[in-house]
Amino acid sequence: MTHDFDSLGLANFSCRLDDERVAWLTLDCPGSAVNRLSADVMHELGLALDYFDQTRPAGVVIQSGKEAGFIAGANIDEFAGLDTPAKGMELVSRGWTLFNRLAKVDYPTLALIRGHCLGGGLELALACRYRLVVDQAGTSLSLPEVMLGIFPGWGGMQRLPRLIGAPAALDMMLSGKPQDARKAARLGLADGLVAPRLAEQAAKAMVLGGKPRRRAKGLPAWLNSPLARPLVVRQTTRKLDGRDPYRHYLAPRAILQIWAKHDGNALKAPQLVDQLIRSDTARNLLRVFRLQERLKAFGKAGRQQPHARHVHVIGAGVMGGDIAAWCALKGFTVTLQDQDRERIAAAQGRAHTLFARKTRHPRDARAAADRLTPDLRGDGVRHADFVIEAITENADIKRGLYAQIEPLMKPGAILATNTSSLSLEELRMGLDRPERFIGIHFFNPVAKMPLVEVVETDGVGAAVKTATYAFVDAIGKLPLPVQSTPGFLVNAVLAPYMLEAMRCVDEGIPPETLDAAMLKFGMPMGPIELIDTVGLDIARDAGRQLSDQASMPACLEHHLARNELGRKSGQGFYRWKDGKAVKQEAGAIPPDLAARLITPLIDKTRQQLEQGVVADADLADAGVIFGTGFAPFRGGPLHYSCTDPLDTQSTS
């Protein structure tokens, strides 16, 4: 019996049958900006397939009703409830079975992908006979499960290597790296690339076109054969060992194993699946993902309002130059002012390198460069929605500048300082309109560091706060609200950590051993290399300002006396060659060393929380993770200190 699709009463899907009997199945999850493959959605997809079994369409095009994209993956809230092995397997089996069914239908199917297509969303698309990607800026295909400490268990580990060959598929699955529309087409991940206005027409032609399903050919295909897999496993394991020598992350190795031994079928490796899904690492990475979403949400309130377009940056040094470049890259009109013409020229040079590295086409890089205007006289102040001050760290000089520029600024414009150590209450003295003065503290290097501390003081206008969070969100950074206290959150917690490391050097522990201890703990860089990178002079100033201890470590004094400032001078605790620290072999790591070094950081995080620098423990953890790279798989310093005894046995 054939019935109307609407009579199925589905909440998430609608379907239209056109004149040539192509069914256009649209996923549009109600009450959400994006589509997610929740248990409900998966159930309804099954019902839609039942319907097509009966109605026998000439083809099915699966598309999204959302502006933002195709499908943003599974519903991760459902992962939290996976407290028994059976529940974990049930979740894997649900997607595996349903997508196998989709892959086997005898009518042609096509996923029309516009915008993001992530995780389970890409696995659904891989189960279709064809994939057509829309050539627009936001189109992005990825299997990011590995970043949550899990695996693409709904067929991705099997279908992706068959489609694009083992090397490219493993690269995507083990890194979680996204592919844009063009790259997806080049890899063969998509069968075609189409301009937005021709998408429907092209989808219809493709789904009715009768072309056989695409498969990898040649060497990439051979490397997916059972014969070649042991070789690929050996090579890939070597790469993983290089990237993760202390084996903090199990997921990449598990994905490799499930692919090699079970042809990507996770149901054949129940123990491994259970170990992964219920591991602390997966739980903590999920926590980090949620923390990230929470920071992003601060920008949400201002998203609907007319947002800033023109940013005027004053100070074209290390920070100001890079902030200006980053804002131009993200689409803002930027004017860059400095009293020194050469600093502006140098900043423009760095900006061009950034644009070339981060854009898809030379024309996009040129457009970004066109948006960044050198402005020696500071004419841009009059037109800017945001004026960011990033000049020399000196309160008198900064206040002198504000006195000159404030009368020139547009009525609704915001004045933001990038100061890392001065009090905002002190800086705003003398301003006519202190309520529009706020801190936006970027981290160095600007292009790499995801966090921006938004420094609020009493009396900052609500609209100013909303617009500032929206601005930080619009440039793709994670805003963290902090109160105006010395060092805010991140620098305040790093100072005692770096100080403790230098005290260890004074006691005779080699820098290499200290760095190795913290890499083993899971930090992205050891504390001594970090001091060399930040600069020993800056570490000294931060130490003076942020530590209660009067005396400087002797090792720091020794290097400073010789003008050895770290990376920037070519010599600090290490000698620096071609931008890399030259290190000797690390010695044996004393069992309590990591705990000794990390304890001052954790204690200081707790103190900052108690003093109200951040509003709650989750925000403190988020700030330290995204501002310092604190071992994400440990879930943040406070979370770690509550769940884990400070014992280095657990760091291996």
Q: Which residues bind ligand NAI (CB under 6 A)?
A: 314-320, 337-340, 343, 390-393, 397, 401, 418-421, 441-442, 444
CA gap 357, 360 in Å, rounded? 8
Residue (69 or 315) nearer to ligand NAI, CB: 315
User: Is 412:406 a contact under the CB 8 Å cutoff?
Assistant: no
The least distance separating ligand NAI from the CB of residue 529, rounded to whole angstroms, comes to 15
Single-letter code of the amino acid located at 22: V
Residue (502 or 539) nearer to ligand NAI, CB: 539
3-state secondary structure of 479: strand
Q: Quote the Cα angle for 460-462-465, to 5°.
A: 75
Q: How many residues does the chain have?
A: 652
Residue (324 or 556) nearer to ligand NAI, CB: 324
Residue (228 or 408) nearer to ligand NAI, CB: 408
User: Is 107:60 a contact under the CB 8 Å cutoff?
Assistant: yes
Residue (418 or 468) nearer to ligand NAI, CB: 418
The least distance separating ligand NAI from the CB of residue 523, rounded to whole angstroms, comes to 18
CA dihedral 643, 646, 651, 652 (to 10 degrees): -110
Query: Nearest to residue 429, comparing CAs of 393, 394, 396?
Result: 396
Residue (192 or 374) nearer to ligand NAI, CB: 374
The least distance separating ligand NAI from the CB of residue 469, rounded to whole angstroms, comes to 19
Phi-psi region of 27 (alpha: psi -120 to 50; beta: other; left: phi over 0): beta
The least distance separating ligand NAI from the CB of residue 487, rounded to whole angstroms, comes to 11
The least distance separating ligand NAI from the CB of residue 375, rounded to whole angstroms, comes to 10
Residue (316 or 593) nearer to ligand NAI, CB: 316
The least distance separating ligand NAI from the CB of residue 528, rounded to whole angstroms, comes to 17
Residue (355 or 443) nearer to ligand NAI, CB: 443
Q: At what angle do helices 490-506 and 511-521 cross, to 10 degrees?
A: 140
For 16-31, give the DSSP string: EE-TT-EEEEEE--TT
The least distance separating ligand NAI from the CB of residue 389, rounded to whole angstroms, comes to 8
CA dihedral 613, 614, 618, 622 (to 10 degrees): -90
The encoded tokens of residue 257 equal: 């194993």
The CA–CA distances, whole Å, from 556 to 352, 353, 497, 506, 597 equal 36, 34, 14, 9, 17
566: which strand partners?
A: 571
3-state secondary structure of 528: helix
CA gap 275, 327 in Å, rounded? 43
The least distance separating ligand NAI from the CB of residue 459, rounded to whole angstroms, comes to 22
The least distance separating ligand NAI from the CB of residue 338, rounded to whole angstroms, comes to 4
The least distance separating ligand NAI from the CB of residue 626, rounded to whole angstroms, comes to 15
Residue (398 or 503) nearer to ligand NAI, CB: 398
Residue (442 or 521) nearer to ligand NAI, CB: 442
Q: At what angle do helices 270-277 and 251-262 cross, to 10 degrees?
A: 160
Residues 6+ apart with CB under 8 A from 455: 424, 438, 439, 440, 441, 482, 483, 484, 488
CA gap 121, 207 in Å, rounded? 19
Tell me the residue number closest to ligand NAI, measured at CB.
317
